[in-house]
Structure 1
Amino acid sequence: MSAELTPAMRRTIETLAQRRMIASVLLFLSGHRPLLFFAGQGLALTAPLAGLLGSSTLDDWADLLSHPDGPVVLHDALAEAEQ
């Protein structure tokens, strides 16, 4: 498994860029990088319940945040969207 962004994740990043929230997300991501693995595991734990409620992308976010290269991939995509 490799750390890749799904189309839904890219749409989320585009929405953040349109709302000019990329800098805030980058700051949050950088400040919480040591905890991102645990955040990914928490998302994996709650993904089945979220699936019942209609959110199907939590598994993808959990996989990305739990992957060792995931935070770097996410950071790079956010930085690219900011430009």
Structure 2
Amino acid sequence: REIGAADLSGAGTAFGTITQLGPVVTVLVVAGAGATAICADLGARTIREEIDAMRVLGIDPIQRLVVPRVLASTFVALLLNGLV
């Protein structure tokens, strides 16, 4: 029995789809869930005027609140892509 390229095309397509879609799905999940949580927290802090209080104290809210979360999200996305 001969095994041609047509017999292996399904496996190749499945492998390619999994290896290419895995990172995309991971990024979408991290961006969707993580960004929503970050946005909700920053919005709640703005409503409670914590952001304004930080500015009055001379603390940059971007450096204190946003940058660490973006770096953590990037790190988590890289780790999840390594696992997928």
Q: Which has the higher helix share?
A: 2
Normalised to the residue count of structure 1, the TM-score between the two structures is 0.29
Normalised to the residue count of structure 2, the TM-score between the two structures is 0.29
Greater Rg, structure 1 or structure 2? 2
